[in-house]
Structure 1
């Protein structure tokens, strides 16, 4: 099973992703799974928004689908996105975590359990603490944790919580994350 990149974002996340994702090439060697907090009753259309802006393929994640390199998968509105032990994606309508469904923590924790050192996790701008515990799981299992620099994030609460829980995480401004992912992948 290949490695995976997982990304979590909340308030200001669409703008951050509009900087990060178009900078990744079509032949990026890992799948990218993304949770963005959106209102549960709102069909966010993120895949459609990013499809024309990215060199990589972009789609909504589907239950039991095996993620492919060179493809970006967004969690559907009102579903948790998880990574199964075999690396496939699973969708869940379980209760919200940290007032959110999809939950960044659940994606990061499940991916950390499944992929261990083959996981790269990125936590971007946001207004709550979702993702901090997930990053702790990534670090504990030998994965790579990257956090958007709170000093330059649109909303610093979430990346600051991620760094507080994981002081060893790599802190980068948004423009530096894609080049760093290319070096790691």
Structure 2
């Protein structure tokens, strides 16, 4: 969990769930994202195997499969509950 400060200055915990997939896991990821609830109680980080130097189309695909916000994973940025993070492509 990442410990963060809430708007009123209190500490709050954000649960982080990470999932990974290879190129063959796209269908499974699509099913997962289409079934996620609107009130996701954690931040979700998606790791996807790609050959070095190739851009990922996964963030754009995920955005089509879910109503949740999809953001690039940025080092040091605080995670938000109900948000999906992916390596920027």
The answer to whether TM tops 0.5 is: yes
State the shift of 1:72 in Å: 0.6
Where does structure 2 lack aligned partners over 5 or more consecutive residues? Answer: 1-12
Pairing 1:30–2:75 present: no
| Cα distance change, pair 11–52 in 1 and its aligned pair in 2 (3 A) | closer
Corresponding residue number in structure 2 for 1:7: 19
Q: Under a length normalisation based on structure 1, what TM-score does the superposition of the two structures give?
A: 0.39
1:95-143, Cα deviation, whole Å (9 max, x unpaired) = xxxxxxxxxxxxxxxxxxxxxxxxxxxxxxxxxxxxxxxxxxxxxxxxx
Cα distance in 2 for residues equivalent to 1:16 and 1:53? 12
Pairing 1:59–2:71 present: yes
Q: How many residue pairs are counted as aligned between the two chains?
A: 77
Q: Which has the higher helix share?
A: 1
State the shift of 1:70 in Å: 0.7
Corresponding residue number in structure 1 for 2:59: 47
What is the RMSD of the two structures over their aligned residues, measured on CA atoms?
1.5
Q: Under a length normalisation based on structure 2, what TM-score does the superposition of the two structures give?
A: 0.76
Aligned mate of 2:83, from 71, 93, 98: 71
Cα distance in 1 for residues equivalent to 2:82 and 2:51? 28
Say which SS state the counterpart of residue 38 (structure 1) adopts: coil
Say which SS state the counterpart of residue 52 (structure 1) adopts: helix
